[in-house]
Structure 1
């Protein structure tokens, strides 16, 4: 998901997407610790997406 797509979402939608991505990230980490997943770069992508979402949530809070 691109930053421009994140900017178009409301704060509530961002928070929902953040919780879903955090769940996905924890599942990826646990699956990778048991047996290596096919594409470990998904872990990095997920972590960076979480950071992008948190940044956009913070920017919306400060703009109020």
Structure 2
């Protein structure tokens, strides 16, 4: 998922997708441990997608905290 796609999502959707992606990552790691994972890059991509989503969520929280502080 590209960063511009992540930025378009509302916060509730981001939290839902983070949770889904973390569950997917657990399954991918389990497949790797049992030698059933065909493409190990899926683990890397899942981790990076989670990081992107968490970064955008954190940016939004910081922005709202900053705007509350000014008011």
| TM-score bucket (shorter structure) | over 0.9
Listed as ranges, the gaps of 5+ residues in structure 1 are none
**Which of the pair has the greater relative contact order for Cα pairs under 8 Å at 6+ separation?**
1
Q: Return the index of the structure with the highest Cα Rg.
A: 2
Listed as ranges, the gaps of 5+ residues in structure 2 are 65-71
Give the total of aligned pairs: 64
Q: CA deviation at 1:37?
A: 1.1
User: What do residues 4-60 of structure 1 show as CA deviations (whole Å, max 9, x unaligned)?
Assistant: 010011111100000000000000001110114111011000011110011011011
TM-score normalised per structure 2 = 0.86
